[in-house]
C-alpha cells in the first residue's frame, strides 16, 4: 500500500530531479555548441538549422544527462532530509533505510524502463537527424566574403581579386577575375577599373557590373603551335556568378541509415546474426576461392595433361626427390610459371579475404557494443540511484555544495570507466558485454558498501572519521618504543 511517507519522498525527489536534469542537459548542449562553434557560424545557414541541430543533439545527450541528474538529485534529496534530521525521525519510528528507499527504487525502475524505450526508439532517429544535419553543415561552404587585395576562390571555377572597396561595401575598384572553367590554366582574364557587386533578388547569383575594362583570352586555333590571344575592351559589362554551390543543401538521410548509431535493438540483433553467419561461411569461401589455383589437387582440364606427363615419365614415385624433379624437362618451366602465378593469385585472394574479415569483425564489435549500450543506460539509472541515496544519507548535506562535488566525482568515475570499457571493447581487448558492463560491475560493490554504511549510520564522510583514519595509519607506521627491563 502507498503511504504518505512514500508520496513525501517521491515529491521531494521529483523537484531536484527535474531541475538537475535540464541543467545537466543544458551544460552538455552548450559544450557541444562550443566544440563545433567554428563550423556552425559564418556559413550563412540561418538560425533554424542550428536550432534543429541543437534540438536533435540535446536528445542524443539524454543518456549522459539522465544518470547525472539521478545521482545528483538522490544525494540532494537524502542529504537535505539528513540535514533536517528527517531521516533520524524516520529511523526512530522503526522504518529502515531500505524501506524508505523502496518507493524511489520503484520510481527509478519505471524511469529505467522509459529510458530503455527512449534509447531504443527515439535516440536512433535523433542520431540520424543530428548526424546527417551536422554532416551537411560541416561540408557546406562559408558565406562569400570578397576582401580587398586577396584572391577569393569560393565560387567554383573563378578566382576573384578586388583592389579596394568603398564604404558602402558594393563599389569595387581594380577588379581582376580569372576564369578556370575550361581547366586550361590562366587563359581567361577579366580586368576592370571599377564596378559594383549586386546580389540577385533570390540570392542565387552575384552580379558584377563592371566598367571600363578588358577581356583577355588565350587558346590554340588550328594546330598545336598556333597560339592566339584575343583582347576585347568594354565600357560596361555584367558578369553573373552562380552561387548555387554556396547554398546550404540537405543530403538524403538514407545514406546514413545503415550506421549502427541509427539502429534499434531488433535491427542490431539482425545485423549481429548476419555477421555471425558470415564468420561461419568465411572459411568455406576461402577454400572454394583457392581451390582453382591448387593445380595438383584440381580436376580441371589444364591440370590433367600435366598429371598425365608426370605419371608417364615417373611410374614409380621417388620419395627422396623433389616434386620439380618429377616434372619433365619440357614442362618444368611452364610448371614453375604456373606455380608462381597461382601463389600470387592465392596471396591476393587471401589478403582480400583477410581485409574483408577484419572489416566485418570491426562492424560486428560496433553492433554488439551498441546493442549492450541500449541496456546499460537503464541499469545506470538504477545503479547511480543506489549510490546517490546512501551517499546523501551519510553526508547529510543538502543544496548544491557538497552534494554537487560528490556527484561529479562519482559520475566522472562512472563515465571514465564506461568510456574505457567501450574503447577496450572496440579494440577487441575485451568482449563487448564485459567492456560495456565493466563500469556497472565495478560500481555495484561500491553501491552495496554505501547502502550498508548508511544503514549502520556510518560517518565515513565526516571530519572525525578522517581524523581517526589518519591517527590509525600514523600509529601503524610510528616507531614503537622499546621497553626497558
Across 79-90, average pLDDT: 79
- Which residues on neighbouring strands pair with residue 207, listed in sequence order? 198, 240
Burial 273-287 (b: 16+ CB within 10 A, else e): eebeebeeebeeebe
- Final residue belonging to a domain, choices 313, 335, 368: 368
Q: How confident is the model at residue 33 (pLDDT cuts 50, 70, 90)?
A: confident
Q: Please measure the distance between the N-terminal and C-terminal CA atoms of the chain and give it in whole angstroms.
A: 71
> What is the total count of domains within the chain?
3
Nearest to 295 by CA among 339, 325, 345, 348: 339
Letter string b/e over residues 297-334, b meaning 16 or more CB atoms within 10 A of that residue's CB? eeeeeebeebeebbeeeeeeeeeeeeeeebbeeeeeee
- Under 8 Å between Cβ of 74 and 389: yes
Residue 322, domain member (yes or no): yes
The verdict on 386 and 461 lying in the same domain is: yes
Of the residues 368, 383, 418, the one at which a domain ends: 368
Q: Does residue 209 lie in a domain region?
A: yes
Does one domain contain both 185 and 296? no
**Mean predicted lDDT score pLDDT of the chain:** 79
Note the pLDDT of residue 163.
87
Question: The dihedral of CA 49, 51, 52, 54: what is its sign?
Answer: positive
Residue 483 clears pLDDT 50, i.e. is over it: no
Look at residue 94 in the predicted model and tell me its pLDDT: 76
Report the share of the chain in percent with pLDDT over 90: 4
CB within 8 Å of 50: residues ≥ 6 apart = 40, 137
Domain boundary among 351, 368, 385: 368
Given this model, what pLDDT does residue 18 score? 92
Q: What is the DSSP letter of 56?
A: H
Q: Does some domain include residue 44?
A: yes
Please check whether residue 66 lies inside any domain of the structure.
yes
Residue 83 lies inside a defined structural domain of this protein: yes
- Number of helical H runs and strand E runs in the chain: 14, 5
How far apart are alpha carbons 413 and 434 in whole angstroms?
17
Looking at 18-27, 223-232, 386-395, which range is the least confident one?
223-232
Residues 322 and 378 in one domain: no
The pLDDT score that the predictor gives to residue 348 is 81
Residue 481 lies in a domain: no
| 53, 132: one domain | yes
Cα-atom radius of gyration of the chain, to the nearest Å? 37
Q: Does 64 map to a domain?
A: yes
Q: What's the angle, vertex CA 139, arms to CA 134 and CA 141, rounded to 5?
A: 125
- C-alpha 193/C-alpha 176 separation (Å) is 9
- Res 22 pLDDT > 80: yes
**Rounded to an integer, what distance in angstroms lies between the CA atom of residue 100 and that of residue 232?**
92
Residue of 382 and 146 predicted with greater confidence: 382
Query: Residues 317, 438: one domain?
Result: no
User: Do residue 94 and residue 206 come from a single domain?
Assistant: no
Tell me: do 206 and 271 sit in the same domain: no
Lowest-pLDDT range of 84-98, 304-318, 350-364: 304-318
Do 287 and 376 share a domain, yes or no?
A: no
Q: Is there a single domain that holds both residue 222 and residue 288?
A: no
Q: Same structural domain for residues 381 and 470?
A: yes
Residue 315, in any domain of the structure: yes
How do residues 227-278 score in pLDDT, each as one tens digit? 777 888 888 888 888 776 666 666 777 777 888 888 888 888 888 888 888 7
Q: Are residues 26 and 78 in the same domain?
A: yes
Burial class (CB in 10 A: 0-12, 13-18, 19+), 233: exposed
Q: What per-residue confidence (pLDDT) applies to 481?
A: 47
Per the listing, cell 567554428 goes with 38
Predicted local confidence at residue 167, as pLDDT: 79
- Domain range enclosing 47: 4-140+371-475
Evaluate if residue 96 carries a pLDDT over 50: yes
* Three-class SS state of 69: helix
Phi, psi for residue 161 in degrees, rounded to 5? -140, 135
pLDDT at 206 over 50: yes
Say whether both 347 and 385 belong to one domain: no
Of 36-40, 67-71, 296-300, 337-341, where does mean pLDDT reach its minimum? 296-300
Please say if the pLDDT value at position 484 is more than 50: no
CA 205/CA 96 separation, integer angstroms: 75
Asked whether 203 and 191 are in contact (CB, 8 A), the reply is no
As a whole number of angstroms, the distance between CA 478 and CA 336 comes to: 81
Amino acid at each position: 500500500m502507498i503511504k504518505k511517507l512514500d508520496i513525501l519522498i517521491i515529491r521531494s525527489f521529483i523537484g531536484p530531479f527535474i531541475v538537475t536534469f535540464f541543467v545537466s542537459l543544458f551544460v552538455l548542449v552548450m559544450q557541444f555548441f562550443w566544440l563545433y562553434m567554428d563550423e556552425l557560424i559564418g556559413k550563412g545557414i540561418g538560425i533554424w538549422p542550428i536550432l534543429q541541430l541543437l534540438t536533435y543533439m540535446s536528445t542524443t545527450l539524454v543518456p549522459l544527462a539522465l544518470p547525472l541528474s539521478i545521482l545528483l538529485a538522490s544525494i540532494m534529496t537524502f542529504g537535505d532530509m539528513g540535514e533536517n534530521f528527517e531521516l533520524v525521525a524516520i529511523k526512530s519510528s522503526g522504518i529502515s533505510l531500505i524501506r524508505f528507499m523502496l518507493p524511489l527504487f520503484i520510481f527509478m525502475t519505471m524511469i529505467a524502463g522509459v529510458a530503455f524505450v527512449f534509447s531504443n526508439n527515439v535516440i536512433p532517429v535523433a542520431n540520424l537527424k543530428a548526424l546527417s544535419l551536422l554532416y551537411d553543415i560541416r561540408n557546406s561552404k562559408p558565406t562569400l566574403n570578397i576582401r580587398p587585395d586577396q584572391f577569393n576562390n569560393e565560387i567554383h571555377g573563378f578566382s576573384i581579386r578586388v583592389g579596394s572597396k568603398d564604404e558602402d561595401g558594393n563599389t569595387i575598384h581594380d577588379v581582376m577575375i580569372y576564369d578556370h572553367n575550361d581547366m586550361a590554366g590562366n587563359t581567361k582574364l577579366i580586368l576592370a577599373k571599377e564596378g559594383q557587386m549586386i546580389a540577385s533578388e533570390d540570392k542565387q547569383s552575384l552580379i558584377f557590373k563592371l566598367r571600363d575594362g578588358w577581356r583577355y583570352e588565350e587558346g590554340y586555333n588550328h594546330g598545336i603551335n598556333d597560339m592566339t590571344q584575343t583582347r576585347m575592351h568594354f565600357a560596361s559589362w555584367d558578369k553573373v556568378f552562380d552561387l548555387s554551390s554556396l547554398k546550404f543543401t540537405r543530403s538524403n538521410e538514407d545514406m546514413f541509415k545503415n550506421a549502427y548509431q541509427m539502429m534499434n535493438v531488433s535491427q542490431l540483433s539482425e545485423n549481429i546474426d548476419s555477421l555471425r553467419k558470415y564468420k561461419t561461411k568465411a572459411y568455406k569461401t576461402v577454400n572454394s576461392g583457392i581451390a582453382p589455383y591448387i593445380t595438383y589437387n584440381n580436376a580441371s582440364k589444364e591440370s590433367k595433361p600435366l598429371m598425365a606427363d608426370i605419371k608417364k615419365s615417373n611410374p614409380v614415385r621417388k620419395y627422396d626427390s623433389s616434386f620439380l624433379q618429377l616434372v619433365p624437362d619440357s614442362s618444368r618451366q611452364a610448371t614453375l610459371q604456373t606455380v608462381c602465378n597461382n601463389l600470387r593469385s592465392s596471396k591476393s585472394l587471401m589478403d582480400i579475404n583477410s581485409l574483408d574479415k577484419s572489416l566485418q569483425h570491426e562492424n560486428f564489435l560496433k553492433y554488439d557494443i551498441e546493442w549492450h549500450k541500449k541496456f546499460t543506460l537503464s541499469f545506470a539509472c538504477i545503479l547511480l540511484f543506489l549510490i546517490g541515496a546512501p551517499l546523501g544519507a551519510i553526508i547529510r548535506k543538502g543544496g548544491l555544495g557538497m552534494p554537487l562535488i560528490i556527484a561529479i566525482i562519482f559520475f566522472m568515475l562512472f563515465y571514465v570507466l564506461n568510456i574505457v570499457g567501450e574503447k577496450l571493447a572496440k579494440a577487441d581487448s575485451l568482449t563487448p558485454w564485459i567492456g560495456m558492463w565493466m563500469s556497472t560491475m565495478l560500481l555495484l560493490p561500491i553501491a552495496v558498501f554505501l547502502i550498508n554504511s548508511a544503514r549502520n549510520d556510518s560517518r565515513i564522510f565526516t571530519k572525525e572519521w578522517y581524523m581517526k583514519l589518519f591517527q590509525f595509519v600514523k600509529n601503524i607506521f610510528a616507531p614503537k618504543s622499546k621497553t626497558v627491563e
